[in-house]
């Protein structure tokens, strides 16, 4: 993208294919450090000529990514180059190298004097196979700002640029994070913006659904009619049907799809039906909800481990797969999901297994959302506190010394 400028002749934009071609970089300072990764990513055969280099540039040389000649520039360095970046701290060397580049017809970027350079580096960025390169003449900050706006927009889907090729129908299992719409990943947000059909859970960033264009079909997973089939089977079938109809389907889940999210059941059902499935990890409530309430799941000198446990069945229920007695013997943090109803029974089981009754407990309801609230208790009091305070799901219960932290946070 080039902006019309008072200059009589604006730069001509082009994409150089530098793989295997000799590129000479003069100077190993900050400018080289910023430009080298893109040259190396393009596969250029880079020779760096410089008596010194920043530690990052030196690391690239040590890793064999480029050839470093530890000396100042000398005439002849640019002879066989296809492209040159001149960025030493010595203006005379820069001028001499530029003159050599001109004689040999090597396109040359010069960091200290854009006016006499024969090439300019655009502000570049990449998103999902698209390279964005922006030149604004003499305003590199504006170039960077325009680049950022385009790349960010492409990444999060706010800049809609439909694909006309390589748009394959399929399903993306997207972890939406704990509820705050800002906590979905950039990839998740983009896929949501590209979807034809979204099947959403009750938990997760539901606000984002309002932003979808009217043609997108939004289906509430809790309301899929399932007759005699199991609810999960009905959801799997809905995913398969829509994907088979050629739609791009997003299965939007709360937190991370693979943390008590039944994501694997859906992925397996899709694989069995021969449907392409992408899994986009999400920010799990198990870590983010405590964090949002000021509770770190680990803390130096306090907890060296944390264990995430589902409390959806009571400890004495025969369906329980959890060894509560073993958990009672741990000294680190226990993070309970889906445990509001069974909190008293779980606390009793942990105390019976030896975990002290005065162990701090923090209960965080509707974490990261406007209605977030935190209720503090101990292992001995948590069952009663949850009842007395009217705590309702969704809530995360954190047990351990870390739960004494952040009490004065909102
Ligand atoms: C079926 S699990 C799904 C967990 C999800 N896959 C994740 O990684 O966060 C649902 C439980 O997650 C917890 N949860 C999810 N979002 C929450 C939130 N915003 N605030 C508090 N707890 C939340 C609650 O314990 C809730 O009962």
CATH number at residue 382: 3.30.950.10
CB of 343 sitting under 6 A from ligand 1: no
Whole-number Å distance, alpha carbon 276 to ligand 1 midpoint, is 27
Q: Single out the residue in 280, 298, 321 at which a domain terminates.
A: 280
| Catalytic hit among 77, 180, 201, 256 | 201
- Domain CATH number, residue 111: 3.40.50.720
The helix or strand, by DSSP H or E, that contains position 260, with its residue range, turns out to be: none
Q: Does the residue 50 lie in any domain? A: yes
Q: Is 258 a member of any domain?
A: yes
Tens place of pLDDT per residue across the chain (410 aa): 544 445 557 889 899 999 999 999 999 999 999 999 999 999 999 999 999 999 999 999 999 999 999 999 999 999 999 999 999 999 999 999 999 999 999 999 999 998 889 999 999 888 877 889 998 877 888 889 999 999 888 887 778 776 665 566 799 999 999 999 999 999 999 899 889 999 999 888 988 998 888 899 999 887 777 665 568 899 999 999 999 999 999 999 999 999 999 999 999 999 999 999 999 999 999 999 999 999 999 999 999 999 999 999 999 999 999 999 999 999 999 999 999 999 999 999 999 999 999 999 999 999 999 999 999 999 999 999 999 999 999 999 999 999 999 887 65
The tally of domains found in the chain comes to: 3
Single residue among 280, 308, 337 that ends a domain in this structure = 280
| Residue 14 forms part of a structural domain | no
CATH of the domain at 191: 3.40.1010.10
Is residue 290 in contact with ligand 1, taking CB distance under 6 Å? no
Q: How many angstroms is it from 203 CA to the middle of ligand 1?
A: 7
Q: Is 139 a catalytic residue?
A: no
Residue 374 forms part of a structural domain = yes
CA distance 127 to 26: 30
On whether residue 268 sits in a domain, the answer given is yes
Q: Does ligand 1 come within 6 angstroms of the Cβ of 368? A: yes
Q: Is 349 a catalytic residue?
A: no
Q: b/e string for 328-364 if b means 16 or more Cβ within 10 A?
A: bebebbbbbbbbbebbbbbbbbbeebebeeebbbbbb
Answer whether 394 contacts ligand 1 (Cβ < 6 A): yes
Rounded distance from Cα 288 to ligand 1 centre (Å): 10
Contacts of 390 (CB under 8 A, 6+ apart): none
Same domain as 298, residue 200:
no
- Quick check: pTM over 0.85? no
Domain boundary among 222, 251, 280: 280
Q: Which domain holds residue 34?
A: 22-121
CB of 284 closer than 6 angstroms to any ligand 1 atom: yes
Spatial contact of 325 and 356, defined as CB atoms under 8 Å apart: no
Instruction: Tell whether 1 is covered by a domain.
Output: no
């Amino acid at each position: 993208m080039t902006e019309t400028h008072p200059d009589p002749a604006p730069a001509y934009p082009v994409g150089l294919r530098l793989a295997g071609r000799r590129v000479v970089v003069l100077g190993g300072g900050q400018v080289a450090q910023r430009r080298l990764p893109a040259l190396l990513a393009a596969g250029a055969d880079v020779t760096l000529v410089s008596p010194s280099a920043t530690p990052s540039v030196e690391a690239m040389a040590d890793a064999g990514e480029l050839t470093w000649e530890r000396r100042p520039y000398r005439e002849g360095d640019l002879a066989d180059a296809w492209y040159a970046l001149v960025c030493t701290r010595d203006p005379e060397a820069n001028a001499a190298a530029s003159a050599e580049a001109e004689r040999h017809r090597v396109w040359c970027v010069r960091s200290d004097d854009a006016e006499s350079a024969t090439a300019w580096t655009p502000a570049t960025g990449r998103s999902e196979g698209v390279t964005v390169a922006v030149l604004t003449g003499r305003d590199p900050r504006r170039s960077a700002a325009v680049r950022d706006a385009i790349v960010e927009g492409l990444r999060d889907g706010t800049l809609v640029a439909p694909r006309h090729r390589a748009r394959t129908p399929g399903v993306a299992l997207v972890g939406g994070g704990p509820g705050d719409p800002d906590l979905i990943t950039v990839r998740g947000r983009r896929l949501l913006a590209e979807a034809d059909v979204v099947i959403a859970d009750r938990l997760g960033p539901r606000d984002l659904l309002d932003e979808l264009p009217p043609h997108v079909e939004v289906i509430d997973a809790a309301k899929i009619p399932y007759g005699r089939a199991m609810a999960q089977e009905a959801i799997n079938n809905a995913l398969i049907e829509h994907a088979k109809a050629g739609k791009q389907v997003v299965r939007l889940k709360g937190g991370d799809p693979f943390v008590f999210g039944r994501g694997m059941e859906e992925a397996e059902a899709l694989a069995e039906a021969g449907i392409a499935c992408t899994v986009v990890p999400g920010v799990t409530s198990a870590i983010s909800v405590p964090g949002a309430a000021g509770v770190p799941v680990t803390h130096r000198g306090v907890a060296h481990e944390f264990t995430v446990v589902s409390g959806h069945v009571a400890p004495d229920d025969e369906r329980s797969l959890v060894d509560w007695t073993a958990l009672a013997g741990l000294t680190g943090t226990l993070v309970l999901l889906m445990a509001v109803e069974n909190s008293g029974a779980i606390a009793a089981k942990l105390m019976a297994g030896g975990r002290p009754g005065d162990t701090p407990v923090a209960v965080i309801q509707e974490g990261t959302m406007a209605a977030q609230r935190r209720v503090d208790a101990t292992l001995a009091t948590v069952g009663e506190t949850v009842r007395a305070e009217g705590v309702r799901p969704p809530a995360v219960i954190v047990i351990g010394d870390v739960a004494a932290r952040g009490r004065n946070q909102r």
